């Protein structure tokens, strides 16, 4: 019993450690004073200042578009890879695919970023495409590393599925493609949704890989934040950080909620039988 209380104390300490810095950031974003660390009274003025900064607004728009396209592509590739990993027989191709798909999960970002950039440069030299780095190259880079996360989320869902439903559909004459879209996709849709939202927030957040893969005209939000943060702490960035924390938490919470709700439904359906 004594040990349990020790781990509980650590749990609360750990959660405090995780949340306190963000909470402090949110509080200080409403600081009137220009000096970030001196409290000068409550004021939302930095938010106003933030929404007048054209450079930041442009970067937000660029980031959102890249994140949208990357998440969509990552769900397509990741789901296919997850399907291969869970439904296909053990083979050489399957083994290399599952190794390649999980590698980006742990690979240091500088290595991934550097290698992708060198690939794009080499490709441009060899057959003139992509002529210059921009949104397209960032999209390719983000789709690649996000699909790893999608594959993990979707494959764990695919493993839990009852194969007999898919088999029944095919026995009744549905083509594999039809079975996939009419039976499998609806059953894994919460995982697809969660994977999409996760990829979206990962892409929105990525600094290192985007810095390597981007070119002129494709400056993402983290790149703008990073270059201004390098110079020191600024109240405008505090306001921006607060908005980012709120939005991303909301997205993360939604994806968690989708998965949980579907699990509950599945449980209820099982109990009803």
Partner 1 sequence: MKKPLKLFKGRYLTIGMPYVWLLMFFALPFAIVLKISFSTAAIAIPPYEPTFSYVDEALSIFLNLGNYLLLLQDSMYYMSYLTSLKMALIATLGCLILGFPMAYAIARAPARTQAVLLLLVMLPSWTSFLIRVYAWMGILSNTGLINNTLMWLGVISEPIQMLNTNFAVYIGIIYAYLPFMILPLYATLVKLDFSLVEAASDLGSRSINTFWKITFPLSMSGVVAGSMLVFIPAVGEFVIPELLGGPDSLMIGKVLWQEFFNNRDWPVASSLAVVMLALLIVPITLFHRYQSRHMEKEI
Q: Name the minimum Å distance from CB 272 to partner 1.
A: 21
**Interface with partner 1 (CB under 8 A), residue from 45, 57, 61, 115:** 115
Q: Where are the alpha helices (DSSP H) in the chain?
A: 2-28, 45-51, 54-87, 92-106, 109-127, 135-160, 163-171, 176-179, 185-205, 208-213, 221-229, 235-272
* Nearest residue (CB) to partner 1, 64 versus 114: 114
**Interface with partner 1 (CB under 8 A), residue from 52, 54, 89, 129:** 89
Query: Cis (ω within 30 of 0) for the bond into 73?
Result: no
Helix axes 54-87, 135-160, angle to 10 degrees: 40
* Nearest residue (CB) to partner 1, 43 versus 102: 102
Contact between residue 22 and residue 245 where contact means Cβ atoms under 8 Å apart: yes
Asked if 260 interacts with partner 1 (CB under 8 A), we say: yes
Distance (Å, whole) CA 144 – CA 220: 17
Asked if 199 interacts with partner 1 (CB under 8 A), we say: no
- Give the contact letters, 231-250, x = binds to partner 1 (CB under 8 A), - = no: -xx---xx--x--xx--xx-
Q: Name the minimum Å distance from CB 33 to partner 1.
A: 12
Residue 70 in tokens: 């990357």
Asked if 28 interacts with partner 1 (CB under 8 A), we say: yes
Asked if 132 interacts with partner 1 (CB under 8 A), we say: no
Select from 193, 207, 186, 189 the least CA-distant residue to 252. Answer: 193
- Give the contact letters, 147-186, x = binds to partner 1 (CB under 8 A), - = no: x-------xx--x---x--xx--x----xxx---------
Which residues between 49 and 68 bind partner 1 (CB under 8 A)? none
């Amino acid at each position: 019993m004594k040990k349990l209380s020790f781990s509980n104390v650590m749990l609360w300490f750990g959660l405090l450690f995780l949340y306190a810095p963000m909470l402090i950031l949110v509080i200080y974003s409403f600081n009137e004073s220009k000096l970030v660390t001196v409290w000068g009274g409550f004021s939302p003025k930095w938010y106003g200042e933030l929404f007048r900064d054209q450079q930041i607004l442009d970067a937000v728009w660029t980031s959102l578009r890249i994140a949208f396209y990357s998440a969509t592509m990552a769900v397509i590739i990741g789901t296919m890879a997850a399907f291969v990993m869970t439904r296909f027989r053990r083979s050489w191709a399957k083994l290399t695919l599952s190794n390649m798909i999980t590698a980006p999960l742990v690979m240091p970002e500088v290595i991934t970023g550097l290698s992708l950039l060198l690939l794009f440069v080499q490709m441009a030299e060899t057959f003139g495409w992509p002529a210059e780095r921009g949104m397209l190259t960032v999209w390719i880079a983000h789709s690649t590393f996000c699909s790893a996360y999608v594959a993990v989320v979707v494959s764990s869902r695919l493993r839990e599925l009852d194969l007999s439903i898919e088999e029944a559909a095919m026995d009744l004459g549905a083509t594999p493609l039809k079975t996939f879209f009419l039976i499998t996709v609806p059953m894994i849709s919460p995982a697809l949704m969660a994977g999409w939202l996760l990829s979206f927030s990962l892409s929105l957040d990525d600094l290192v890989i985007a810095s390597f893969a981007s070119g002129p005209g494709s400056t993402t939000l983290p790149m703008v934040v990073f270059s201004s943060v390098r110079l020191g702490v600024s109240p405008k960035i505090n306001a921006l950080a607060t908005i980012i924390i709120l939005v991303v938490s909301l997205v993360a919470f939604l994806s968690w909620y989708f998965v949980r709700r579907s699990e509950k439904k599945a449980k209820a359906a099982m109990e009803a039988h």
